Structure 1
Amino acid sequence: RGSVGRLPVALVRCYHFECNAQDAMASWRTMDVKETMKKNIAKKYRPYPAYRDSGVEWIGEIPEGWEIVRSKALFSHRNQKATSGEEQLTASQVYGVIPQSLFMEKEGRRVVQVITGQDILKHVEAGDFVISMRSFQGGIELSEYTGSISSAYVVLKPSQNVVQQYYSYLLKSTQYIQALQSTSNLVRDGQALRFQNFSQVDLPVVPIEDQQVIASFLDYETAKIDTLLAKYQRLLDLLEEKRSALISRAVTKGLDSNVPMKDSRVGWLGEIPEGWEITKLKYLAPLQSGYAFKSELFQNDGIPIIKMSNLKRGSLDFTEATFIPADKCNRDFALNDGDILLGMSGSLGETGSVGNYAVVNRKDTPCQLNQRVGRFRLTSALFPGFLLYFISSDSFSKPIMLDSIGTAQFNISPEYIGTISLGLPNQSEQRKVVSYLNRETAKIDALVAKVERAVELLKEYRIALISAAVTGKIDLREESA
């Protein structure tokens, strides 16, 4: 029970064999990953025979035969009103420019559609590019559909010298996005990119044959990378499921599968070991609500108050901390090393703030307990580690979810938390369960860290490969021969 080896064999093999490339990347962990990626790509693919300075910082040297022009020489501004009945499109950094109906299907949520006054929409032709509200962060999107789009967006009509698939990679490359970001401080203040911003970034003019070769190469190579990334993500999902099941079973069934069991008479608990006691949290660890500090006390330094946003599934994160003056602290809400905290308001689900938890570390103190965050006051009958694993298990989250069906935002009270039942073993067995889970979850967490590192390196490699290809740092013409 609890063995990582029970994960599906195919995905374990994916990790051990298909990811052998990550072994070669291991030495990069102490080096500049991006620079090392560039060097390794340069070793694998030959450069063009001759280069010259492009005069554009973000592009660097370009092959002989490539040119640099103003971007509006390659793309014109299509400022054309949509006609009645055109399909409404959505610009997405994930899917590109696609029909709103398809976007809603993929995302499982609705978007605002224009029913009346469709004359405010802009016309888009298949093969156009669209500058959206998110282009400042993720680049410019290619549309493979004809339709209409928000008037807040900028539609770019490509010239005959443009192979759309090549420029779809170029206009979403990291270097291009950084160049686009440098065109205006107004964008950083939340204003949209305009055609004028686009026009300020010069672009390469690449021979048509080269564009086609580069686009085909990147289609093939990025598809392979994306397939492997999807397998990695599936492995991460399975590891998380394994971890969750391991914890839930240990805190509800114990470690000995041969002990007699009894009906807990609590739906989500099912059977529990015969020697365990059914009780409620309020008798073992009543929850104390935080204090409603007045917002006028908030400042940029002083003593931090712990809000919902500071709870990060086990630990505290002070990236977005709020502080109060030391003389305004309340001793009844002063937090101590080892305190276990619980989020009591907000969204639901695995990443929601309701049920989110954290343990206060000595380095976190002094700090104060703010409203909508609770602190468990443990009695001697409950070992802290056992409570921590219990509140991270399905046996704790299920009753909360069952009580909140149909509610996107939810508040839970200390009184409600107190009504949640659990099976309680004696202190000795609680400690054994905690020791076992510490050991087994550490194994899973170590594997998760390795997979996440592999994902990070693959994503960096993908970025570096695209950059090298679209800026002419590697000659791919023989690759397609």
Structure 2
Amino acid sequence: MSFPRYPKYKVTGIEWLGDVPEHWEVRRLRQIGPILKGSGGSKEDVVETGLPCVRYGDLYTTHQFFIRQARTNISETRIKDYFEIHFGDVLFAASGEDIEEIGRSAVNLIEGVAYCGGDVIVLRPSVPNFPAFLGYSADSRIAKAQKASMGRGTTIKHIYPSELKGLILPFPPPDEQIRVATFLGRETAKIDALVGEQRRLIGLLKEKRRAVISHAVTRGLDPHTPIKASGIEWLGDVPSHWEVGRMANVFREVAESGVGDLPILSVSIHHGVSDKEFNAEEMDRKVTRSDDRSKYKRVAPGDLVYNMMRAWQGGFGTVTVEGMVSPAYVVARPKTSITTAYVEHLLRTPQAIEQMRRYSRGITDFRLRLYWDEFRNIQIPLPPEQEAVEICRAIKSMDNSFNELTAEAERAIQLLQERRAALISAAVTGKIDVRDIRDQQLTK
């Protein structure tokens, strides 16, 4: 849908902003009100019941444009260390990892007493404004571009009050701000609903994929095949011609020393074993990289590799190329002609993941380790080799279909989010006149 423009515009002299409606004003943040600095203590101050507090990280993860409810509460005995925020204050994250997102902001709409922690910059408006409009405007595309140019630092990016006070925003009269914000609230809600539908679709696809794979690796592909009790509580019935055995029946642990010309491979909880060397930035941060490659473990195609500390989270996979892995990993090599990819698919089922967790040893989840002596005793179904190959082929084909559907939904989400951002930017800069637009099907 196309939108009307304002009858008259004026030149701002600002190249990236262009013209604005004739009756609008262009201001810097310092003309809106004082720029203040938040303060606060540590994570130890967080309690289940206390006074509401907004932390800088919440501006990235929880609040978009508006702060309606604080995610954390602070102990009343520690609140003197924190900065009290008022209704209508705009909070900016003063640090972050992404230069494109530095200074992420939201307007405080919490009724009553609330606070913010350190690494937060606070704009306290002293001129008449409608908070919701300021919430949209201060984190719109034109605002984000300016904030990104103000960011400083390498690994951790920072933005400072001295820079932020120069942020330029166009403002309509307060009564018009209300109409613009009302329009945006209504129309972004429609877009958000469509995004929600696509995300639910992705969730359903993931559930369907898990169910299909789980059935394939435990019951096979033929729905009419006779079944028998496996004797394994977590597994239940299996095809009558399948065998059941322990990991030790089909795998043995190996620990061959690495050699200099082989690539170092990673093991991801999401993607299994990589098929190429990864650089220092991609290294598992919990494993120290050594220049002495003989300390690594050599792996071969068909090996099953798992991270002792993260196996129960999915940190395992099938090796497809010659290479080396961290000495913190266990390398299991097939003793028979078993299809390792089939075993990997089996181990990724929820019930098998739970078995790996049960066999892991440690005081807490963060310290759980799955040693070979425990892993070797996990019982699994063992289909004939050719059938295991066919199951893997079927899973790959099904994966391709699910991936296509998921990618289509993700593209739809991206387009909707781009439309949402463009609509907000156009409305808060006066490129479109929404004063008299009523509820319409703008998202079609």
TM norm structure 2 = 0.80
Cα offset, 1:67, TM superposition: 2.1
Does the 8 A contact of 1:262 with 1:272 survive in 2? yes
Cα offset, 1:225, TM superposition: 1.2
Take 1:80 and 1:434, find their aligned partners in 2: how far apart are those partners? 55
SS in 1 for 2:225: coil
Does the 8 A contact of 1:71 with 1:199 survive in 2? yes
Cα offset, 1:330, TM superposition: 3.4
Structure 1 residue runs without a partner (length 5+): 1-42, 105-110, 349-353
**Change in 2 beyond 3 A, CA 1:184/1:321:** closer
SS in 1 for 2:51: coil
Take 1:86 and 1:128, find their aligned partners in 2: how far apart are those partners? 21
Residue 402 of structure 2 corresponds to 444
Cα offset, 1:184, TM superposition: 4.2
Does the 8 A contact of 2:93 with 2:102 survive in 1? no
Give 1:141's match in structure 2, choosing from 84, 100, 106: 106
What are the Cα deviations for residues 410-440 of structure 1, in whole angstroms up to 9, with x where unaligned? 3222232222111111122222222222222
Residue 244 of structure 1 corresponds to 210
Cα offset, 1:304, TM superposition: 4.7
Cα offset, 1:368, TM superposition: 2.1
Take 2:316 and 2:426, find their aligned partners in 1: how far apart are those partners? 44
Is the counterpart of residue 75 in structure 1 residue 39 in structure 2? Answer: no
Take 2:132 and 2:296, find their aligned partners in 1: how far apart are those partners? 62
Take 1:154 and 1:358, find their aligned partners in 2: how far apart are those partners? 45
State the one-letter code of the partner of 1:141: A
Is the counterpart of residue 402 in structure 1 residue 379 in structure 2? Answer: no
Does the 8 A contact of 1:213 with 1:480 survive in 2? no
What are the Cα deviations for residues 101-131 of structure 1, in whole angstroms up to 9, with x where unaligned? xx25xxxxxx7x3453432221111221122
Residue 411 of structure 2 corresponds to 453
Matches within 5 A, 1:223-372: 223-288=189-254, 304-308=263-267, 312-314=270-272, 316=274, 318=278, 320-322=281-283, 328-330=292-294, 333-336=297-300, 339-346=303-310, 354-360=313-319, 367-372=323-328
State the one-letter code of the partner of 1:399: Q
Give 2:125's match in structure 1, choosing from 151, 158, 166: 158
Cα offset, 1:170, TM superposition: 1.2
Does the 8 A contact of 2:32 with 2:125 survive in 1? yes
Residue 380 of structure 2 corresponds to 422
State the one-letter code of the partner of 1:116: T
Residue 171 of structure 2 corresponds to 205
Larger fraction in helix: 1
What are the Cα deviations for residues 133-179 of structure 1, in whole angstroms up to 9, with x where unaligned? 45753621211123222254332212333211111111122331221
SS in 2 for 1:268: coil
Take 1:155 and 1:290, find their aligned partners in 2: how far apart are those partners? 58
Cα offset, 1:212, TM superposition: 1.8
Residue 13 of structure 1 corresponds to none
**Change in 2 beyond 3 A, CA 1:251/1:440:** same
Residue 143 of structure 2 corresponds to 176
Take 1:333 and 1:380, find their aligned partners in 2: how far apart are those partners? 21
TM norm structure 1 = 0.75
What are the Cα deviations for residues 267-324 of structure 1, in whole angstroms up to 9, with x where unaligned? 210111221111012221334468799xxx9xxxx9653345x564245283634576
Is the counterpart of residue 412 in structure 1 residue 378 in structure 2? Answer: no
SS in 1 for 2:201: helix
Identity %: 25
State the one-letter code of the partner of 2:136: Y
Residue 126 of structure 1 corresponds to 87
Is the counterpart of residue 44 in structure 1 residue 2 in structure 2? Answer: yes
SS in 1 for 2:434: coil
SS in 1 for 2:124: strand
**Number of paired residues?**
409
Take 2:13 and 2:318, find their aligned partners in 1: how far apart are those partners? 54
Take 2:200 and 2:376, find their aligned partners in 1: how far apart are those partners? 36
SS in 2 for 1:203: strand
State the one-letter code of the partner of 2:200: R
Give 2:344's match in structure 1, choosing from 388, 405, 416: 388
Bigger relative contact order, structure 1 or 2, given CA contacts below 8 A and separation 6+?
A: 1
Take 1:476 and 1:47, find their aligned partners in 2: how far apart are those partners? 8
**Change in 2 beyond 3 A, CA 1:80/1:372:** closer
